Amino acid sequence: MTDLHPRSEDVAATQAEALGRLAAGLAHEIKNPLSTMAINLALLEEDCGRGEQGEPSARDKRVLKRVHTLQREIKRLETIVEDFLRYARGGSVDRAPADLVQTIREVLDFVELEDTRQGIRHHVDLPAGLPLVMLDTGAFKQALLNLCVNARQAMPDGGELIVRAVRTGQQVEISVTDTGVGMDPDAVERCFEVYYSTKKGGTGLGLSTTRRIVEQHNGRIAVLSEKGRGTSFSIVLPLLVEIHGKKEDA
Ligand SMILES: Nc1ncnc2c1ncn2[C@@H]1O[C@H](COP(=O)(O)OP(=O)(O)OP(=O)(O)O)[C@@H](O)[C@H]1O
Ligand SMILES: [Mg+2]
């Protein structure tokens, strides 16, 4: 039977999609004038920097200072627009059977150098012989990286980053725990919201992107945190198991 009356949640989903497309279009339109401004500011910077005798005059120095302020603000706007577009585009993932442990290790290798520099020690506990997981490895690495970067930012004076994966039946739970500043209950409640950020210069898209990627992998993400003590994010993913001779997500 054909349903002539679309359900209200279908209408809402279509409206949200249309709004998302409009917003992405708007963000895209903002990019062009921003790059024109950046180019002209770079030319102005060059003009003022050169000066008559090779040294900028006092007036040129004042102009240069303002040019640099404008350049910083343009960079900030560009980052906001880029992050938004990445989020809006997000769309689909392309999953294939993959080695989760290897994927986690690659992310940790990527962040280790900077973490060490900041006095953050890694403690890693990953199981051997874990069944494969259906992963879009690029997207999943991004999801984990967002958690690791947040953990680093929560430990400006160093600390411990504990990354574990534990198999429970047909699922695997990955946890990323830090001993950083932690969150108050309001932040715990809101941290996955788009644009929720308590950081200077933060866009607040990191965790909402992570959550979306995890859900695109048929997984769930949760957080536990205590102000002043630390934070733990946990992701539960289905393992790839044999169902009637066909491999499927558990
Ligand atoms: N490990 C953590 N420890 C403490 N607070 C955290 C942690 N992870 C996230 N938060 C809180 O959740 C907020 C949202 O995080 P999210 O990653 O979405 O955005 P952000 O880090 O502020 O900005 P960005 O878009 O650059 O990632 C943070 O601003 C912070 O208040
Ligand atoms: Mg973040």
| Confidence (pTM) | 0.76
**Segments making up each domain of the chain, as ranges:** 8-89, 96-249
Q: State residue 159's pLDDT score.
A: 98
DSSP string, 167-232: EETTEEEEEEEE-SS---HHHHHHTTSTT---STT--S-HHHHHHHHHHHTT-EEEEEEETTTEEE
**Mean pLDDT calculated for residue range 157-172:** 96
* Res 250 pLDDT > 70: no
Atom 31, ligand 1: residue with shortest CA distance: 198
224 lines ligand 1 (CB under 6 A): no
Q: Where are the alpha helices (DSSP H) in the chain?
A: 8-50, 58-89, 100-117, 137-154, 185-190, 206-216
Q: What pLDDT band is residue 249 in, cutting at 50, 70 and 90?
A: confident
Cα(10) to ligand 1 centroid in Å equals: 31
**Mean pLDDT calculated for residue range 7-12:** 70
* Residue 148 region by backbone torsions, left for phi larger than 0, else alpha for psi between -120 and 50, else beta: alpha
Lowest-confidence region among 86-90, 144-148, 207-211: 86-90
Cα(196) to ligand 2 centroid in Å equals: 10
221 lines ligand 1 (CB under 6 A): no
* Res 245 pLDDT > 70: no
Q: State residue 226's pLDDT score.
A: 97
**Mean pLDDT calculated for residue range 224-230:** 97
* Res 13 pLDDT > 80: no
Q: What pLDDT band is residue 172 in, cutting at 50, 70 and 90?
A: very high
As its CATH architecture, domain 96-249 has: 2-Layer Sandwich (3.30)
**Mean pLDDT calculated for residue range 82-104:** 85
* Res 247 pLDDT > 70: no
- Nearest-angstrom CA–CA distance, 106 and 93: 19
